[in-house]
Amino acid sequence: MAAAKDGRKTPARKTAAEEQLPGINDARAAFAPALSPALERPRAMLRALSFRPPQLLHLEGGETADRVALALWWAAQLNCEDPEGMEPKASARGPCLSCPSCLRIGANMHPDLIFLDGREGSIKIDDVRGLRPVLGEKPHFGRWRVIIAAEAQSLGIEAANSLLKVLEDPCPDTCFVFTAPQRERLLPTLVSRGWVVTLPWPETGRPLSDDMRPWEQALGRFAAEGRGWFDLTTARSAMDAGKAQQIVLVGQKALADCLAGREGGMLAAVFRRMPPRARMLADEIFVESQDALQAQVNPLLVLDTMAARLHVLARGR
Ligand SMILES: [Zn+2]
C-alpha cells in the first residue's frame, strides 16, 4: 500500500477524495470497462437489484476485464456515499465513482471489500477459510460487505465446497459476487444459490487474430469431415498451455456465435447443424478441455481429444 501523505500541503485543485486516496487513478482505471455502452443492460439490472441485493450474484459472459470491473461497480453501487445515490429514483444513474467509498472500492482499499483473485492462479481454500471470522461481524465502514471471487472457475473443489458452507450460514449485510466466463464452469450448487447476470458474449464480430483463424478453420473442418486437424497438431512437437487455452476459447467463441445467431466461421456453422442437446455437450467438452489444461495435461493431447470429441458429436453419435 502506498504511504500516506506526510503532511505537506497538496495543491489546492485536488479534491478531498484525491487527498485521501493515493490509488485514485487505479480506481478510475478499475471501473472503466464497466462503463462501456455495451454493458448498459447488465448495469440496469444491477441497479434494479441493488434495492434488495441477492446474497450471491454471478456475472458471466463478456471478457474477464468487463466482469471484474462490473463486480467492483456493483460493490460501489451498494456502498456509494453520494447522498443522491441512495435515493431510489437517483440510483438510476448508478454509483458516483468519485466519493471516497467508490474510490476505495475501485482501488481495492475498502475495509469491507474482500477480493479473492482467481485471474492468475487458483483461489485457495485458506483464502475462503479466512473469510469466516469476518463474516459474523457487521460491515465496518460501508452499508454492505462485498466479497468478490474474481474468475471463480479457478476455485479448487475444496475451496468451492468450503465457500458453499459459508453461504449456508447467515452473513449479515454481506453480498458475494462471482465472476466466471460461463455459469457452467462453476459447481451447479453454487450457481443455483445465486442470481445470474449475463454480460453480452464476447463480440466475435471482433475478428479472430490471424494466428487463430487457421485453428478455427481446422477445428471446424475436422468436426464436420474428420480430416485436417492432425496435420496441424502433429507438425508441432510442443505447445504451451496458454496457446492451447486460446484455441479452446476459439471453440467457445464459435459456440457463442451460434447461440447468439451470429454467422461466425466454419465451426459455428457446424454447431448450427447440431441439435440443442449436442451444443450443450460441446460446451462441456470445452469446459473439460480448459480444466484439463489447468490440471497440466499435455496441451497437444487435450486439443486432439477435444477435436475428436467434437467430430463424434457432429456426426450425431
Ligand atoms: Zn460514490
* Ordered per-residue pLDDT tens for the chain, 317 residues: 344 444 444 444 555 555 556 678 889 999 999 999 889 989 999 998 988 899 999 999 888 999 999 999 999 999 998 876 555 544 567 899 999 999 999 999 999 999 999 998 889 999 999 998 888 888 988 899 999 999 998 898 899 999 999 999 878 899 999 999 888 788 888 988 999 998 987 655 566 778 888 899 999 999 999 998 988 888 887 788 878 888 998 998 899 888 888 888 899 999 999 998 899 899 889 989 988 887 889 999 999 999 999 999 999 85
Under 8 Å between Cβ of 156 and 122: yes
Measured in Å, residue 63 CA sits from the centre of ligand 1 at: 25
Residue 162: other Cβ atoms inside 10 A: 20
What pLDDT is recorded for position 19? 54
Helix (H) or strand (E) holding 15: none
Measured in Å, residue 117 CA sits from the centre of ligand 1 at: 23
Measured in Å, residue 123 CA sits from the centre of ligand 1 at: 29
Cα dihedral 31, 36, 39, 44, rounded to 10, equals 70
- Cα of first residue to Cα of last residue in the chain, in angstroms, is 57
Under 8 Å between Cβ of 310 and 282: yes
Alpha-carbon gap, residue 113 to 27, rounded angstroms = 13
What cell was used for 162?
468450503
Measured in Å, residue 194 CA sits from the centre of ligand 1 at: 25
Measured in Å, residue 59 CA sits from the centre of ligand 1 at: 21
Alpha-carbon gap, residue 300 to 240, rounded angstroms = 9
Measured in Å, residue 41 CA sits from the centre of ligand 1 at: 20
Measured in Å, residue 52 CA sits from the centre of ligand 1 at: 18
pTM reported for the whole predicted model: 0.65
Measured in Å, residue 15 CA sits from the centre of ligand 1 at: 14
What cell was used for 294?
489447468
Measured in Å, residue 90 CA sits from the centre of ligand 1 at: 12
Measured in Å, residue 203 CA sits from the centre of ligand 1 at: 30
Q: How far is CA 113 from CA 178, 240, 268, 278, 290, in A?
A: 13, 35, 40, 41, 29
What pLDDT is recorded for position 210? 80
Reported residue count of the chain is 317
What does DSSP say about strands 195-198 and 145-150: parallel, antiparallel, or unpaired? unpaired
Alpha-carbon gap, residue 103 to 97, rounded angstroms = 6
Measured in Å, residue 98 CA sits from the centre of ligand 1 at: 5
Measured in Å, residue 113 CA sits from the centre of ligand 1 at: 14
Residue 7: other Cβ atoms inside 10 A: 5
Q: How many CA atoms lie within 13 A of 166 on its CB side?
A: 25
Q: Which residue has the cell 466482469?
A: 67
Q: Which among 161, 260, 263, 160 has a CA at the least distance from the CA of 220?
A: 263
Residue 224: other Cβ atoms inside 10 A: 18
